[in-house]
Structure 1
Amino acid sequence: MTSDTLTATDTMRAVRLAAPGEISLDEVALPEPGPGQVRIRLEGCGVCASNLTPWGGAEWMTYPTEPGALGHEGWGVVDAVGEGVTGFTVGDRVAALSYSAYAEYDLADASATVKLPASLEGRPFPGEPLGCAMNIFRRSDIQPGQTVAIVGIGFLGALLTRLAKDAGARVIAISRRPFSLDIAREMGADETIAMDDHWAIIEKVKELTGGVLADRVIEAVGKQWPLDLAAEITKERGRLVIAGYHQDGPRQVNMQMWNWRGLDVINAHERDPEVYIEGIRMAVDAVASGRLDPTPLYTHTYPLDQLDQALNDTRDRPDGFLKALVMMDRSA
């Protein structure tokens, strides 16, 4: 580690999942960056729906978790750099792909860290989900004049609505909650449909497209029914993009229909770290340029010691909820 540092303490606060549905806030040793790593003094971390399976008590989970575990949407200021790091210095404001960001500090590989420009100073920047949105959009191959249906308007679906509209597409937003449909309209959706009746939705999309159905359909819920629905409203030789988080068990698909229609089916989840980071870089450019403004989508903020409530609200989605951020308050 270099001698430069912003830290005046050798401990930090970090949350552990103590048991299913239970957290503990602990004082733990400050992590030291190894070769090629930076340490980030976190300003905040987004709460991801992928946390809900371990929060509920998955069979494969071990409790208590490591300090800060499951947090992977952090941003903050570099406060120490490890041996061999170039391109980053203490004081740089960054977003990073790290994995223990429900804490006041976290380590990240320098190669998985992206600088934030001065124009984003003071603005939250959960890089991982913003980068995911950019990568899903890229793989959707949306072209001007196409009809794009987005099934599920949460944080991700709302971002994709804006990106698709900006690309010149006609956007049909389909979601369960009236609040989400309001957000979709604000993000540029041309048409909105309440997600309540499977066959009625299909008929409505047919009506809106002259019976052709949608050129591109992005499924952003992560459940069986929305996946079924998304396939049903994709036109012949259209593209079905699976962006929902399908990690709670097997899925069934209507392969006969997929085959008959000649659908291109894209699993838009990335696993290549370089692609992840490129998505974050694209998100930085989009937000800094004003092309994308996620600020209205950060609907709920919580202090670190209320991560349990943030997770419960992410699960229960009370009225007006879209995206939770945990913010690091060091004033206490």
Structure 2
Amino acid sequence: MPTTARTVLFDDIGGPEVLRVEDVTLPDPAPGQVALRVEALGLNRAEVLFRSGTYYYQPSLPASRLGYEAAGVVTAVGEGVTELAVGDRVLTGPGIEMSAQGVYADRVVLPEASVLRRPAAVDAVTGAAAWLTYTTAYGALLETAGLRPGDHVLITGASSGVGTAAIQVARRIGAIPLATTRTEAKRQRLLELGAAEVIVPAEAGGAEGVAKEVRRLTGGKGAEVVLDAIGGPGFRPLAEALATGGTMVVYGWLDDRPAEIPRNWPFTIHTYANGALTSTPGGRRRSAAFLDAGLADGGLRPVVGEVFEGLDTIRDAHRLMESNAHTGKIVVRL
């Protein structure tokens, strides 16, 4: 029998004020689908961009849903579902189209391929903060850039959810993470999380200064990998931080101004979209195995900057995301 779910919707693009919570009828799971009771939601920069109309795909309005990442419990399964059962503790993330399947709700129905079993020791808040950040860091650094033990990697915007995850992923394989962050206030926290060095661009003299500092810290060699979330005019000078033959991976574009291709060849530029990896069975399997192993032994520890209580706080949670005042993930517990 269909149930009612409290669901976050929006009818127009705009700021956090466009978000509303409404009761929505939720159908029984169809073949290949599972129904979940959501316990916690993890916020991502992608959702802020989607809500404001600046994401790489546009919301279907009115009454668009929102959200990729949640942790919860399976309450029903459709015909043909074999990997999950009622009562399983799970998390979501791969293959979700937000307008139709967004997980900002207390109950959702999703394709089985978008739901993964949550490790037994992982609570809901941790689970909601884990999938997208760590699989993005894993896919960008290991599968795309080929980061190796002993390599230096420069991580821009390192206080974000992906940035803090990238520090831990680099440390887990024996690489050396160098981090940038906007404010001096976040430096100590990033050092505590495992960054070997933290550079504040405003203090270093902008992207040119960051590149010079990376050269100094690496004995003039440069970093084998740069993981960039920013783009824009700082992209070209930032590439001066690369070692000869190094790899630059762009996974975000927070500065939407034009960027020039750097000229300190030879090096490789990759763009990285997490869905390209996690939408394939093999990519999901490898990503999930890496994440599960790290969560199980404590080598991967999601950084949660703040926990809000209840769906009615979703506007405040989005305002915090836009303020950039937090370090790590923002989670809403239901």
TM range (shorter): 0.7 to 0.9
Structure-1 residue corresponding to 2:320: 313
Query: Are residue 145 (structure 1) and residue 150 (structure 2) matched?
Result: yes
Structure-2 residue corresponding to 1:304: 311
Query: Are residue 52 (structure 1) and residue 69 (structure 2) matched?
Result: no
Which SS does the other structure have where 1:14 is aligned? Answer: strand
**Where does 1:66-85 land on structure 2 (aligned, <5 Å)?**
66=64, 69-85=65-81
CA RMSD, Structure 1 to Structure 2 (Å): 2.4
Tell me by how many angstroms 1:205 deviates.
1.6
Structure-2 residue corresponding to 1:192: 198
Residue type at the aligned position of 1:42: V
The percentage of counterpart residues that share the same residue type is 25
Q: Quickly say closer, same or farther: Cα 1:55–1:113, change in 2 above 3 A.
A: closer
Structure-2 residue corresponding to 1:92: 88
Query: Are residue 171 (structure 1) and residue 177 (structure 2) matched?
Result: yes
Query: Are residue 213 (structure 1) and residue 222 (structure 2) matched?
Result: yes
| Partner Cα separation in structure 1 for residue 247 and residue 266 of structure 2 | 9
How far does the alpha carbon of each residue in 1:77-130 deviate from its partner, in whole angstroms, 9 at most, with x for none?
000100111121100001123432000111222123211122224553132333
Question: Residue 114 of structure 2 is aligned with which of 112, 115, 122?
Answer: 112
| Partner Cα separation in structure 1 for residue 147 and residue 79 of structure 2 | 43
Q: Quickly say closer, same or farther: Cα 1:96–1:277, change in 2 above 3 A.
A: farther
Structure-2 residue corresponding to 1:4: none
Residue type at the aligned position of 1:146: D
Structure-2 residue corresponding to 1:14: 7
Does the 8 Å contact 2:76/2:86 carry over to 1? yes
Query: Are residue 286 (structure 1) and residue 286 (structure 2) matched?
Result: no
Does the 8 Å contact 2:134/2:169 carry over to 1? no
Tell me by how many angstroms 1:174 deviates.
1.3
Does the 8 Å contact 1:302/1:327 carry over to 2? yes
Which SS does the other structure have where 1:261 is aligned? Answer: coil
Which SS does the other structure have where 2:154 is aligned? Answer: strand
* TM-score normalised by the chain length of structure 1: 0.85
Which SS does the other structure have where 2:10 is aligned? Answer: strand
Does the 8 Å contact 2:294/2:300 carry over to 1? yes
Q: Quickly say closer, same or farther: Cα 1:80–1:179, change in 2 above 3 A.
A: farther
Q: How many residues align?
A: 312
Structure-2 residue corresponding to 1:65: 63
Structure-2 residue corresponding to 1:125: 127
Tell me by how many angstroms 1:26 deviates.
0.6
| Partner Cα separation in structure 2 for residue 238 and residue 229 of structure 1 | 15
Structure 1: runs of 5 or more not aligned: 1-6
Tell me by how many angstroms 1:202 deviates.
2.2
Q: Quickly say closer, same or farther: Cα 1:24–1:299, change in 2 above 3 A.
A: closer
| Partner Cα separation in structure 2 for residue 63 and residue 291 of structure 1 | 41
| Partner Cα separation in structure 2 for residue 91 and residue 250 of structure 1 | 47
Q: Quickly say closer, same or farther: Cα 1:316–1:122, change in 2 above 3 A.
A: closer
Residue type at the aligned position of 1:149: L
Does the 8 Å contact 2:34/2:111 carry over to 1? yes
Q: Quickly say closer, same or farther: Cα 1:133–1:325, change in 2 above 3 A.
A: same
Which SS does the other structure have where 1:125 is aligned? Answer: helix
Tell me by how many angstroms 1:214 deviates.
1.1
Question: Residue 189 of structure 2 is aligned with which of 170, 183, 187?
Answer: 183
Does the 8 Å contact 1:239/1:266 carry over to 2? yes
Residue type at the aligned position of 2:161: F
Query: Are residue 270 (structure 1) and residue 274 (structure 2) matched?
Result: yes
Does the 8 Å contact 1:149/1:214 carry over to 2? yes
Question: Residue 230 of structure 1 is aligned with which of 211, 214, 238?
Answer: 238
Structure-2 residue corresponding to 1:28: 24
Residue type at the aligned position of 2:153: V
Residue type at the aligned position of 2:34: V
Tell me by how many angstroms 1:185 deviates.
0.6
